[in-house]
Structure 1
Amino acid sequence: MTTTSAPVRPALVRTAGRLPARSALAVLGGLSLWLAFPGTAWWPMAPVGVMLMSLSTIGTTARRGFLLGLLGGLACFLPTLHWSGIYVGDTPWIALSVTESLYLAFMGMAIAVVQRRGAVRPGAVAALWVLQELFRSNVPFGGFPWARLAWTTADSPLVRFASIAGAPGLTFVVALLGALLALVVFRLATGQLSLLRLLVPTAATALVGASAFVVPVPTEGKPLQVVGVQGNVPTTGLDFNAQRRAVLDNHVATTKQAARMVADGKIASPELVVWPENSSDIDPTRNADAATGIAQAVGAVGVPVIVGAVLQEPAPKVSNTSMLYLPGRGLVDQYVKQHPVPFAEYMPYRSFFRQFSDKVDLLTTEFAHGKQVGVFDIPTRSGTVKVGPVICFEVAYDAVTRAPVDRGAQLLIVQTNNATFGYTAESEQQLAISQVRAVEHGRSVVHISTVGVSGLITPDGVVHDRSELFTRKVLAGELPLRSAKTMADRWGAIPEYVIGAIAGLLVLIAWRRTRGERATVRRTGTSAPGGGVDPSDKADESTTTPSQTEEEARD
């Protein structure tokens, strides 16, 4: 029986097909993704990262695709999420990074399946990035949608696409750009130098990027004068909780400072004042001193104040709460955080995870899950304004931020506390998410932190009156109110599920086709169409053998 060998590719491609070279591409891709996130915020590196990871999986096996995806994920998430272990040790940080990387590992496996025949598949690659983020944002324990491709675009023209198909659509665009670049590079490397074969993907890349500039991002709306109070904390790290009275006093004093600034003509008279998460970790519904301090602050500014507080209910749990206070009326409404953070605000399977780290017992009291979407009716000089409160990491969850907009919110407020992450990029990463949300929902956002980075964000994603870390600051400005829904809001989660379903279908089709070709190889002893797996991916050789073909069939 005779066999035909796989087509011999140019030396550059044969070399790149070897596992060490593929691994280097995957790691460089992951590091490129890290550089795209705030901290460095070189947003063009996101498509570059996708390009490199896509190239690493061309014509390889599913198992190697898994390994390459894992390597790329670790190279991205270990530095991007380093802030998660600043005060609680390396184990939680590494565990979180490895967990997130596993999603990229399975995505790498899937991309290897659709690119098994030795070609870049831009649409499939982009769809698989969306599917990966869909799973990562929902499972387990409600998911952890940090470090999504969408968040790299906060200060780029691409962010405009968020108003069309939301964060998932934005991820698709970034991944598509990266995959199209990969196609151009692959065709150059394989000697496919015909004008048409190079012009088409190059033109498509340019067209996708340029089309961002024609996506409208309306910013007009009735103005609302707002003040954000960043009161700061006495110390960084976990110890700030032991000084909660000082934190409350800081925010009371800074609010009174804002009132003096109004009286002196330094800032305009506000219609709404917003405090951050944990600005009162002393329950003001049970502690008279805390209630008095907040009442004094509300009286000083004479306008509604939204306070972030921890309530000692429902026992034995506590509630992370946004509370609306009105002058002369006191507390009139509240919102309880719906999506507390696993391992930080509640501990799933505590006894199991204690086997890996005793840090789980640092969390002595767990937070309850809120059951209601929050929309506050704020009386202002020009009428009632609907405000949607979002607390801390909730801003990263699509459904949580979309819900108040669906219920008529004209303004979003993101109350957060970044004191436990020190001088890291975490705060800037979170601010970038709020920037994307502003464009996605066509809403102004008051992003206010106990320690920074805070900012007032207009519906085009631009940050105004930005603060620095661990400073006391009164943020003041005029934000436009909007009620019209963006296309992303009207579509909701439909684009994400449709793209995810298409991605799954493409993988299934590619897998079944590959199985059929392997069956043909076993019957006839000839190579699969397109050359199958790069031979050097198996043994650094330029030809395949029957034994290698059998091994691939088992993969």
Structure 2
Amino acid sequence: MERLKAFGRLMPRLVVAVGAGVLLGYSFEPHDHPWFIVVAIPLFLAVLNGVSVKAGILLGAGFGIAYYAVLVPWLSIIGGDAAIALAILEGLFYAVFGAFASQALKHRLWMLWIPCMWVATEYATASVPFGGFPWGRLAWAFSDSPMGKLASLVGIPGLSFAIALLGVLAYAVLRRKSAFGQRAIALVAGVAIVGGSALISLDKDGDGKTVTAAMVQGNVPGKGLEFLGRARTVTRNHLNATLDLQKRVAAGSEVRPQIVIWPENSTDIDPYKDAETRADIEQAVKAVGVPILVGAVLEGPGENERQTTGIVWDPVTGPGQVYAKRHPVPFGEYIPFREQLLPYIKRLEMVGRQTAPGKVPGVLKIGDVTYGDVICFEVAYDDVVADVMKGGAQVLVVQTNNATYGGTGQPEQQFAITRMRAIETGRTVLIASTSGISGVVRPDGSVEHKSDQFVPDVYVAQVPVRDSKTLATTLGGWPQWTLTGLGIMGAVLALLARRRTRSADPGTPPAATPSREKVPV
């Protein structure tokens, strides 16, 4: 009975936590209200303040599940149960955050520990299970904001820290028991973060060299899952779009590119083994007379396996360098525990053969330019982008296929992530999608071209070739590791302080020390 009463007392807080999670989800594309974050985080901290660890778990779970339910509803294209499962899974990470944050709020350094713990939570979601799902990082919401420029200095983890810190500072200003001095310091610090970000200047120029590239969006014959099984039509669409490009070049109405980029899955049939597909690619590459980076699905390397690749196809020497996608999507491109799950979940048979991950970064030397190729969701993974930068990438390429999720908001979210990668690395990003969004993002994150969805689109751009590094790429993983380490330290100190408080008066029952703020569950 007492537990039911405690849960009833907690319900108003849970409602606010869920509302804060919804508000946070609306900060991201396609809703695009990034400053909602500075409201959502204070609300979440307010409901965590003064509660027990168990209550923090429940409140954190409610917050996290609501957050991801709003952020990734596009997964319901695969199945409503898949969207629910993902929201619950990611919500569990915020349940852990809620447990620790509820105790860290009692520590005198809480304004440091809380944003560090947020970064640690994002690191966990981006790492496990099955390689993680880094889609919910705060930094992705700020591609259109001056504050996003911070990513060029401290990377994506550092930007997430700064955004979480803003939320913490807003809470420090608003909470009733904050002293005047604490409020003043928090207000000044918040203004300094926002104002200082606006003063950062990002360079859009190259190192004296440019390259002319063409992004081909051939379009697909259907939406959602409808396009599956029409691989030859998709390849033929990209062939025809490339032939049209060459006609414009020959007529003098378009500049001749030095490279043409086809998207991920521009052919789902292995061109090494299928003569018709190979002939289509050969026709396209010989027509334009320059290399085409072809997005192709190859058979192998093992039995009942495939690989999603980018192949450099030269008009003279034919297929050459191959990059195989290193982060295939679980339950989309491969099935974990395949033998155990397939007998019970027949829908997983749609995945087909297992996609085997590649082993090496997508560093491709084409002509005298080094490209860093990442494929689709890989753009959200720090290690994939960092590795091509370490390999000397002067221009970034994203080959993607968002046809399954067209019109759901997912392509807009991925495009925003791509813009943040341009800012972080100081590189132009060339995006080729089967059905959209394709485009060109300049090194400062501004958009030169952004295609519509489910229409053919061919865009030719002259973009800077850069060798210089941003501070973020020089620092590499250090901001992530440092902030995560501090977050873990804050969690440990908070729990130790809790244990000391409990052991100080072990004989006093909870009912004898009531608190208006504490809600034990």
TM normalised by structure 1 equals: 0.88
Matched, 1:140 2:140: no
Cα distance in 2, alignment partners of residues 122 and 193 from structure 1: 14
Q: Which residue of 2 aligns with 1:84?
A: 75
Counterpart in the other structure of 1:541: none
Q: Deviations over 1:348-395 (max 9, x none)?
A: 11354458743222222111110111211111xxxx000011011111
Match of 2:411 in 1: 427
User: In the alignment, which of 187, 193, 196 is matched to residue 202 of structure 1?
Assistant: 187
Is residue 331 of structure 1 aligned with residue 322 of structure 2? no
- Contact between 1:61 and 1:533, CA under 8 Å: does it hold in 2? no
Is 1:96 paired with 2:81? no
Q: Does 1:509 align with 2:493?
A: yes
Match of 1:67 among 58, 61, 69: 58
Asked if 1:284 corresponds to 2:271, the answer is: yes
Q: Which residue of 2 aligns with 1:497?
A: 481
SS where residue 20 of structure 1 aligns? helix
For 2:253 and 2:35, the matched residues in 1 are separated by: 39
Over the aligned positions, Cα root-mean-square deviation in angstroms equals 2.1
CA distance in 1, matches of 2:142, 2:318: 40
SS class of match (2:83): helix
2:38 aligned residue:
47
Q: Distance in 1 between matches of 2:373 and 2:22?
A: 34
Match of 2:16 in 1: 25
**Is 2:450 the partner of 1:469?**
no
Q: Offset of 1:260 from its aligned partner?
A: 1.9
- CA drift at 1:496: 0.7
Which residue in the other structure is 2:388 paired with?
404
3-state SS of 1:319 partner: strand
C-alpha distance in 1 between matches for 2:344 and 2:433: 32
Q: 1:177 to 1:495 in 2, by over 3 A?
A: same
In structure 2, the residue matched to 1:372 is: 360
Structure 1 residue 514, shift from structure 2 partner? 1.7
Report the residue type matching 1:52 in the other structure: L
Q: Partner amino acid for 1:67? A: L
Deviation at 1:215, TM superposition (A): 2.6
- Describe the superposition over 1:2-23 as per-residue Cα deviations: whole angstroms up to 9, x where unpaired: xxxxxxxxxxxxxxx9523322
Residue 265, structure 1, aligned to residue 252, structure 2 = yes
In the alignment, residue 284 of structure 1 is paired with which amino acid? P
Secondary structure of 1:309's aligned partner:
strand
Alpha-carbon distance change, 42 to 524 in structure 1, aligned in 2, over 3 angstroms: closer
Q: Secondary structure of the equivalent of 1:334? A: strand
Of residues 182, 198, 206, the one that matches 2:171 is 182
Using structure 2 for the length normalisation, give the TM-score.
Answer: 0.94
Shift of 1:47: 2.4
**Structure of greater Rg:** 1
Structure 1: tracts of 5 or more residues without a match: 1-16, 539-551
Paired residues of 2:49 and 2:517 also in contact (CA < 8 A): no
- Change in CA separation of 1:527 and 1:19 when aligned onto 2, cut-off 3 Å: closer
Letter in 1 for 2:69: L
In the alignment, the residues of structure 2 paired with residue 50 and residue 333 of structure 1 have an alpha-carbon distance, to the nearest angstrom, of 46
Partners in 1 of 2:518 and 2:231 — Cα distance?
58
* Alignment match, 1:460: 444
Percent identity (aligned): 36
Q: Name the CA distance, whole Å, in 2 between partners of 1:454 and 1:124.
A: 40
Matched, 1:239 2:226: yes
Q: Map Cα deviations across residues 246-291 of structure 1 (whole Å, 9 max, x no partner).
A: 0000000111111122233333221111110000111111111111
State the alpha-carbon separation in 1 of the partners of residues 174 and 51 from structure 2: 17
- Contact 1:54–1:125 (8 Å) recurs in 2: no
Give yes or no for the alignment of 1:445 onto 2:445. no
Contact 1:122 1:176 survives alignment (8 Å): yes
Q: 2:199 aligns with which of 210, 214, 220?
A: 214
Kindly report which structure 2 residues correspond to 1:284-303, keeping only aligned pairs within 5 A, or say none. 284-303=271-290
Report the alpha carbon displacement of residue 120 of structure 1 after superposing the two structures with TM.
8.8
Alpha carbons of 1:126 and 1:293: their partners in 2 closer, same or farther (altered >3 Å)? same
Give the partner amino acid of 2:120: L
What CA distance in whole angstroms lies between the structure 1 residues aligned with 2:253 and 2:31? 34
AA matched with 1:54: L
The correspondence of residues 104-119 of structure 1 with structure 2, limited to 5 A, is 104-116=94-106
Q: Deviations over 1:208-257 (max 9, x none)?
A: 11111233322110222111001100011223121110000000011111
Pairing partner for 2:27 from 36, 56, 68: 36
Cα 1:518–1:193 shift into 2, 3 Å: closer
Bigger shift: residues 209-218 or 28-37? 209-218
Asked if 1:414 is matched to 2:398, the reply is yes
Indicate the SS of the match to 1:376: strand
Quickly say closer, same or farther: Cα 1:534–1:525, change in 2 above 3 A. Answer: closer
- Alignment partner of 1:504: what SS? helix
Structure 1 residues 47 and 354, CA gap change in structure 2 (3 angstroms): farther
Task: Confirm or deny that 1:256 pairs with 2:243.
Answer: yes
Match of 2:347 in 1: 359
1:344 corresponds to which residue? 332
TM-aligned CA distance change 1:185 to 1:283, over 3 Å: same
Cα deviations by residue, 1:291-350 (Å, 9 ceiling, x for unpaired): 111111112222121010001121320110000012212111110011111111110113
2:210 aligns with one of 223, 228, 231: 223
Aligned length: 511
Asked if structure 2 preserves the Cα contact closer than 8 Å seen for 1:153 and 1:159, the reply is yes
Partner of 1:13: none
Equivalent position amino acid for 1:307 in 2 = V
- Per-residue CA deviations over 1:117-136 (Å, capped at 9, x if unaligned) read 6x892221110110001111
> How big is the shift at 1:79?
2.1
Equivalents in 2 of 1:217, 1:356: separation in Å? 52
**C-alpha offsets along residues 394-448 of structure 1, whole Å, 9 cap, x if unaligned?**
1111001110110111011011101111311000111111111111111110112
In structure 1, what is the Cα distance between the partners aligned to 2:9 and 2:438?
A: 47
Check 1:61–1:458 CA distance in 2 against 1; reply closer, same or farther (3 A cut): same
CA contact (8 A) 1:298 1:304 kept: yes
Partner SS, residue 219 of structure 2: coil
Distance 1:49 1:356 in 2: 39
